[in-house]
Each structure stands twice: as C-alpha cells, then as structure tokens.
C-alpha cells in the first residue's frame, strides 16, 4: 500500500487523519486511531445525467409489513417499510435477538420470506430459542454467517425481511481492518443495505452498544440507515423499552414497552400498571410521590422514591437511580434557596421505582414532593399524582401533554392531581385538580404545612 492510500480512522468518532496520533484530534479519544486503506476513488468516470421524476409522478410508497407485535410496529411507525433498513442497538443480553426472532417468526408465519442470519450464535442455538418461544414451526430461514459478501449474495436472491445479528460480526473480504472496526461495519452495512434496497427487502441490523453507549463504537451507522431503535432496560428488572431515536418513516418520540418472560418478550399495552404494580393499593408512604409522566407520546405513571437521611457529618452522600443527578442537585438547591427547606447537608437517595429511566423535567415537582415528604415524614395525599417543571426562581412551570397525563391518572383510579397553577388543564373529569405555583407550597400540599410552620415559629 502506498503512503497516499493510507489514512487513520478514529474508532470512536469516525474522523479520518493523515497521520497516526495517540489521541484523536477530533473527539479527543486516546489510542483510537487505526490504519485503514482509503476507499478507491470513483474518479475518472464521466457522470451520466440523472433521470428526474416529477414529485406528483413519483411511484406511491410501498405498503408496510406489520410484524404483528403491536409494540414493535408502533415504534416502527406502523410496520417495516420494504427496502428500508432498521438498526436496533442495545446492551448485550437486553433481548435484541429475542425480539427480532419473534418478529421474524411472526412475519414468516404470515407468509413472508424471512431470513435470520446470525454471526454470534450457532443455528442450533437459534432453533432452541425458537422452541422456547413456541415458534419452532415458523418457516424462518436460518444461517450462521459472517461474510458480508455471502449474506449479500443470498439476499440478492431471496428474502422479504432479513435480520443480520449483529453487524459487528460481519466483515467484507478485501478490507484490511478487523471485524467490528469502523471501516468494516460501515462497508458491510453499505453492502447489505444496497442489496436490500434494490430488492425492496426490509433489513434489520443488530448493533451492539459499546461502553460509551454508541452503536458500533462510533455512531457510524446512524446516518446510513432509515431507522435507529434502541432497546433498553435495567438488568435486574424484566421490562424493556424500545425507543426510536431516528425514523424516516415514523415519529421519533415513540416507545414500545415489553416484558421479558421465560417465554420471550411479552407486550405491555398498559405500562403504567406495570410500573405501579408493586405499589400498595392506594397507599401513600412518606418519601414517595407518583409522577404522571409521558414517554414518547404515551402516558406513563411511575413512583418516585426519596430517602432523606439525618444531617451528615462529612460530605453528604447522593445516589440517584433512574433520574439525572444534575437535575436532582438543581431541585435541592431551589428547595433550599427559594423555600428554605434545607436538604443540602443530608444524605439523599432518589429512585425511580421499577427501574425506569426518566428524563423529563416535568418530574421536578414529583421529585420535590418525594424529597419534602421524606424529610417531613408526611405522606402525599392518597391517590395523588404530580407533574410540573421547577424553575430556578422556585416557580412551578406548566409542561406539555397535561391532558394526556391527567387522563391516564384518572384511568388508573387516581383521585387528585397536583399540577402547575399557570395553566388549568382541561378534561379533568372526576379527577380533583390542585395547583402549585411555587415550590414553597409543596409542603402544604403534603399536609405537612402546619408542622413546618410550627417548627419555623419554635
């Protein structure tokens, strides 16, 4: 290879450099540059004029193929689009192979030609899993392969839906780099996507998430595929969430909720019931508050739990599970500065029950309620839900999807909703609405107001 053909590609961010360096000049990762042969330049060939098509004369979109797994179809935007490529990322062991085998089996049972190519397991292992899932007689065509050329050759002959598990195990002959490297992943995916698109087959690629949470090391594949889904969940818990982060054929804020059982992934049509399942009927304990959340377009009620310890001798401990630690620090600072509720010197533990991870600022109010409730030893009103964002000035601000949150709370039998006062949401039905305009009012809503006032006077 002549010097000119060589380049060094960062395995973390995909940036190319002329010279090797210990540290990537683009993303700052250490020891991430790997030598790769430059792609052959397509120079020299004279271009051909494009065949242009009028927008209104363009061929109609092809019909989607619903997998029959409603939670999966919902995230896809209604089903698999022929000729499209879907990347499914997630931690090892989260259930990607299980989900795709179930989807392939369902599609095959409906008469679609489905291929399942594995580079990670033996064909017998897949067959064993299918037996466990009760889908052993589904006519899915299996193969164990890692050569992109072989897979592409097969795909160019048959298959309406093809699963490749995983893209990191696939390699393209003639490319110097190792399987799983940026160049291999990119080139292999490109080869497979090309055939699938040409044949109007739907391609499903599994991508492992690396330590840093990116698919295939860098996010090199995300721009090449039509849809990127992440499959997530906590190890100790059985529920799983499928989230669309990119979708050329559907909404990106959609989620699907599944439950891992001993017979594969089950669909969870009513996630709130799952997440509140372990909660004692209607019982409100000090240190808990139910947050009326919205994930994607779906309402999701979860319990926020807080434990506030006595004033700590040294530096206080903070542990947060399922929420952002920075956000917690902000809520604590606002409670202290704007409402005189001193939590700063105490150990604080915050947990989102059920192992769900929430990122909505709308949870601020429920978090504040759980914290104050634990501190005061005063339970939130039985059957109450909370939502609202807390600003740095201490005001409780309205959030989006208020009506969706209230409807869900009502559907699940909650009696009271404690919400921001700036906007009185409509459609509350039988639900009693109480409003909070400022964090200082949180204690009063917990029925602890009298006690704190007494203490303040003493």
* Contacts with ligand TYD, residue ranges (CB under 6 A): 90, 92-98, 129, 132-133, 260, 262-264
Encoded tokens for 137 = 């007689």
Q: How far is the CB of 284 from Mg ion (least distance, A)?
A: 41
Pick one of ligand TYD, Mg ion, none as the site partner of residue 357 (Cβ within 5 to 8 A by kind).
none
Q: How far is the CB of 170 from Mg ion (least distance, A)?
A: 14
Closer by beta carbon to Mg ion, 192 or else 352: 192
Helix (H, G, I), strand (E, B) or coil at 105: helix
98 binding Mg ion? (CB under 5 A)? no
Closer by beta carbon to ligand TYD, 266 or else 394: 266
C-alpha 56/C-alpha 400 separation (Å) is 36
Pick one of Mg ion, ligand TYD, none as the site partner of residue 129 (Cβ within 5 to 8 A by kind).
ligand TYD
Contacting residue, 97, 188, 227, 305, with Mg ion by CB under 5 A: 97
Cβ 36 vs Cβ 177: under 8 Å: yes
Closer by beta carbon to Mg ion, 97 or else 181: 97
CB atoms within 10 A of CB 337: 15
C-alpha 287/C-alpha 38 separation (Å) is 59
Q: How far is the CB of 94 from ligand TYD (least distance, A)?
A: 4
Closer by beta carbon to Mg ion, 32 or else 168: 168
Closer by beta carbon to ligand TYD, 169 or else 416: 169
Q: How far is the CB of 100 from ligand TYD (least distance, A)?
A: 8
DSSP code, position 126? H
Closer by beta carbon to Mg ion, 129 or else 357: 129
DSSP code, position 395? B
Pick one of Mg ion, ligand TYD, none as the site partner of residue 262 (Cβ within 5 to 8 A by kind).
ligand TYD
List the one residue out of 74, 28, 310 whose CA is nearest residue 13.
28
Q: Tokens 């090449």 identify what position?
A: 224
Q: How far is the CB of 141 from ligand TYD (least distance, A)?
A: 19
Q: How far is the CB of 260 from ligand TYD (least distance, A)?
A: 5
C-alpha 223/C-alpha 309 separation (Å) is 47
Cβ 217 vs Cβ 182: under 8 Å: yes
CB atoms within 10 A of CB 204: 28
- Give the H/E segment covering residue 454: helix 449-457
| Site residues, Mg ion (CB under 5 A) | 97
């Amino acid at each position: 290879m002549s010097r000119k053909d060589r380049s060094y590609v960062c395995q973390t961010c995909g940036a190319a450099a002329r010279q090797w360096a210990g540290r990537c000049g683009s993303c700052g990762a250490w020891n991430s540059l790997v030598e790769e042969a430059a792609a052959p330049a397509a120079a020299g060939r004279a271009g051909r004029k494009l065949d242009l098509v009028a927008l209104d004369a363009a061929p109609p979109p092809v019909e989607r193929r619903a997998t029959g797994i409603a939670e999966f179809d919902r995230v896809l935007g209604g089903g698999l689009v022929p000729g499209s490529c879907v990347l499914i990322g997630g931690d090892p062991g989260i259930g990607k192979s299980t989900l795709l085998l179930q989807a392939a089996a369902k599609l095959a049972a409906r008469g679609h030609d489905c291929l399942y190519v594995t580079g990670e397991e033996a064909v017998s292992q897949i067959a064993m899993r299918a037996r466990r899932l009760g889908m052993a007689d589904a006519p899915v065509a299996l193969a164990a392969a890692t050569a992109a050329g072989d897979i592409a050759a097969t795909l160019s002959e048959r298959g309406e839906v093809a699963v490749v598990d995983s893209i990191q195990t696939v390699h393209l002959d003639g490319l110097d780099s190792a399987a799983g490297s940026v160049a291999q992943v990119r080139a292999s995916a490109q080869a497979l996507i090309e055939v699938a698109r040409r044949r109007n087959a739907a391609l499903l690629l599994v991508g492992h998430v690396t330590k840093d949470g990116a698919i295939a090391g860098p996010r090199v594949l995300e721009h090449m595929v039509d849809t990127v889904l992440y499959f997530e969940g906590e190890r100790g818990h059985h529920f799983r969430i499928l989230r669309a982060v990119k979708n050329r054929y559907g909404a990106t804020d959609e989620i699907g909720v599944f439950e891992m059982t001993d017979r594969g992934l089950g669909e969870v049509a009513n996630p709130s019931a799952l997440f509140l399942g372990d909660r004692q009927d209607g019982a409100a304990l000090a240190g808990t508050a139910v947050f009326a959340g919205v994930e994607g377009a779906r309402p999701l009620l979860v319990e926020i739990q807080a434990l506030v310890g006595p004033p700590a001798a040294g530096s206080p401990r903070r542990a947060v599970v399922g929420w952002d630690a920075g956000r917690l620090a902000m809520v604590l600072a606002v409670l202290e500065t704007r409402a005189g509720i001193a939590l700063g010197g105490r150990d604080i533990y915050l947990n989102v029950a059920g192992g769900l991870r929430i990122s909505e600022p709308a949870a601020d109010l429920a978090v504040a309620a759980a914290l104050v409730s634990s501190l005061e030893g005063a339970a939130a009103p039985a059957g109450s839900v909370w939502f609202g964002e807390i600003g740095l000035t201490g005001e409780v601000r309205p959030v989006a999807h208020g009506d969706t949150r209230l409807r869900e709370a009502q559907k699940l039998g909650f009696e009271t909703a404690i919400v921001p006062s700036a906007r009185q949401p409509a459609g509350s039905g039988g639900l009693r609405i109480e409003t909070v305009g400022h964090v200082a009012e949180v204690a009063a809503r917990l029925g602890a107001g009298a006690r704190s006032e007494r203490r303040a006077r003493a």
